[in-house]
Amino acid sequence: MTRRYFPGLISACALLCLCGCGFKANEPVRTPPPLAPPPQLSTIAATLSIPLSDIAGLLNDKTTARIAELHDQPVKCGIGRCRLTLHAVRTGAISATAARNGVMLNIPFAADAVLALPGIFSFVHAKANAMGQAVATTSASIGREWQIVPRTQGVVELESSHLRIGPVVTNLADIWNANDELLSRPLFKLVDKKIAAGLHEGPRIEKFWARAFAPIKVGKKPLAWLVLQPERIRVAQPAVAGN
């Protein structure tokens, strides 16, 4: 008996059998693409400087010659409540120099004072004419809307300011500093007011901010832009360095 093989016929039969069984291959496993790395965080630092000469010029331009003025005002004088009439005027320019904790201000002035004893001895008076200076230190912080908030504190130094009323000898400088709420504090509040009103850093900061975060063209083919997206801002407290 003779056997004959037909290879082509066998292949066709196998193909028909596979098609008849509805064979379907499994879909390949898809691996999700890796996550893009987070954008690189950068820090932009900027320093805004105000020359001390600008602060001194501001105070000299915006303050009057009058430093303090009282008319028959009750004051603490060491022996009770005396009454003081005082007129003090600036005799020179206000200077500003660097200090450890801020800006040191020197305000030279002259004062004329009349002190009356308390009570039934109010008719007893003593007069003093003194030259002196107010020495103050102004520190600052940053408030809302980028406003500079100054805080000035200091003392008054007077030369040859002795007041003699009979057996009582006192000092105009001691009386001045003992009544700082009437004399020194208004002066230093005036200094703070003029500094705060004259120094406006908001527009400078806004201008820098707009320039820092404007898109920067970094490529032509292909077209590419560097875009900075601000996340947070930190502001250091004002400090004095040099002038």
* Domain assignment of residue 229, yes or no: no
Check residue 166 and give its pLDDT: 61
The pTM assigned to this predicted structure is: 0.70
Q: Is residue 179 within 8 Å of residue 39, measured between CB atoms?
A: no
User: When comparing pLDDT for 74 and 170, which is higher?
Assistant: 74
Check residue 60 and give its pLDDT: 92
Whether omega for the bond prior to residue 37 falls within 30 degrees of 0, making it cis, is: no
Domain containing 95: what range? 52-198
* Domain assignment of residue 24, yes or no: no
* Domain assignment of residue 28, yes or no: no
Longest distance between any two alpha carbons in the chain, whole Å = 161
Q: Provide the 10 A C-beta neighbour count for residue 182.
A: 18
Give the number of domains in the chain: 1
Question: C-alpha distances in angstroms, 114 versus 52, 71, 75, 128?
Answer: 37, 10, 12, 7
Tell me the residue type at 1.
M
For the chain, the average pLDDT equals: 81
* Domain assignment of residue 34, yes or no: no
Retrieve residue 229's tokens: 């997206």
pLDDT per position as a tens digit, 41-89: 888 888 888 899 999 999 999 888 888 888 988 888 777 788 888 899 9
Q: Confidence class of residue 100 from pLDDT cuts 50, 70 and 90?
A: confident
* Domain assignment of residue 68, yes or no: yes
Tell me the residue type at 220.
K
Q: Among 73, 104, 91, 96, which Cα is nearest to 183's?
A: 73
What is the CATH number for 139? 3.15.10
* Domain assignment of residue 172, yes or no: yes
pLDDT per position as a tens digit, 182-209: 888 888 999 999 999 888 888 888 888 8
Q: Is residue 107 within 8 Å of residue 69, measured between CB atoms?
A: no
- The residue-averaged pLDDT of 13-39 equals 68
* Domain assignment of residue 92, yes or no: yes
pLDDT per position as a tens digit, 110-156: 988 888 877 656 666 778 888 889 999 999 988 888 888 999 998 88
Which residues in the chain belong to E strands, given as ranges? 66-76, 81-90, 95-99, 102-116, 125-142, 148-159, 162-165, 168-171, 216-219, 224-226
Whole-angstrom distance, CA of residue 122 vs CA of residue 176: 19
* Domain assignment of residue 37, yes or no: no
Q: Confidence class of residue 95 from pLDDT cuts 50, 70 and 90?
A: very high
